[in-house]
Amino acid sequence: AQRVTQPEKLLSVFKGAPVELKCNYSYSGSPELFWYVQYSRQRLQLLLRHISRESIKGFTADLNKGETSFHLKKPFAQEEDSAMYYCALSSGSARQLTFGSGTQLTVLP
Amino acid sequence: KAGVTQTPRYLIKTRGQQVTLSCSPISGHRSVSWYQQTPGQGLQFLFEYFSETQRNKGNFPGRFSGRQFSNSRSEMNVSTLELGDSALYLCASSLGQDTQYFGPGTRLTVL
């Protein structure tokens, strides 16, 4: 069975500090990993996916198959980054996402 | 391009009733997936439809069902509502194997 673990429910950092949101997964095949973000009163939206290997809003995430991790990083956090972040895994041909429990990030001024 | 829309946005029902939620995907998207979001269980996959066929189903009882129409619009139905069915129900659409785009959700409260 596939599983996504986000060990931190809450994470607070100061503006300008680096931030890392942890995500570990368990899946026997080749997963596709995503980070979704939900800003206050907005819908869930894709932040980035590992196959794109892009940086969105300064965030990056590298898939580490050895450690089965897909941590989200940003070198300098901004107050507008405060949101709920979900790591998700997709497998197979169907569009079924398995979500982690989410991390509420608060960037303090 | 208009985003995914869900109706109604809020719904209050009593135990034992049934409910139907609707989702209109982004134009051109043929895949629609449904998720249940609760504080205790988080986001859980319900089912996915592609070209009017259910392609995958999550671990939910048979009281939860869905369908997709030829225009890709989808409905999900919950029969014999229980208190534990209170949740935010999210719909997501995609072209097929591409990124899923989420709707705003329908907040269901069961009294």
Cα B23 versus chain centre, distance: 7
Which percentage of chain B shows pLDDT scores above 90?
Answer: 88
| pLDDT string in tens for chain A (109-residue length) | 789 999 999 999 999 999 999 999 998 878 889 999 999 989 999 999 887 777 788 999 988 888 999 999 999 999 999 999 999 998 765 578 999 999 999 999 9
Respond yes or no on whether the N-terminal peptide bond of residue B8 is cis (omega within 30° of 0).
yes
> Is the CB of A84 inside 8 Å of chain B's CB atoms?
no
Residues ≥6 apart with Cβ < 8 Å to B91: B4, B6, B21, B23, B25, B32, B33, B34, B35, B74, B76, B102, B103, B105
Band of pLDDT at residue B56, cut at 50, 70 and 90: confident
- Pairwise CB contact (< 8 Å): A44 & B99: no
DSSP readout, A4-35? EE---SEEEEETTS-EEE--EEE-SS--EEEE
Report the residue from A45, A96, A99 with minimal CB separation from B56. Answer: A96
Residue A31: the pLDDT is: 83
Residue B97: the pLDDT is: 67
B contact set with A (CB within 8 A):
3, 31, 33, 35, 42-45, 48, 50, 55-56, 58, 90, 92, 94, 96-97, 99-105
Q: Which of A98-107, B43-52, B90-99 has the lowest mean pLDDT?
A: B90-99
Band of pLDDT at residue B18, cut at 50, 70 and 90: very high
Arithmetic mean of pLDDT, B66-70? 96
Arithmetic mean of pLDDT, B7-24? 97
Which residues in chain A touch residue B42, judged by CB atoms under 8 angstroms apart? Answer: 99-102
DSSP readout, chain B? ----EEE-SEEEE-TT--EEEEEEPPTT--EEEEEEEETTTEEEEEEEEETTEEEEE-S--TTEEEEE-TTS-EEEEE-S--GGG-EEEEEEEESSSS--EE---EEEEE-
Residue A49: the pLDDT is: 87
Residue B80: the pLDDT is: 96
- Identify which of B88, B86, B89, B85 has the alpha carbon closest to the alpha carbon of residue B76: B89
A26 φ/ψ angles, rounded to the nearest 5 degrees: -130, 125
Arithmetic mean of pLDDT, B21-32? 95
Distances (CA, A) of B77 to A27, B4, B85, B98: 31, 18, 12, 26
Please, are residues A70 and A23 in contact by the beta-carbon 8 Å criterion?
yes
Residue A65: the pLDDT is: 87
> Is the CB of A93 inside 8 Å of chain B's CB atoms?
yes
Band of pLDDT at residue B6, cut at 50, 70 and 90: very high
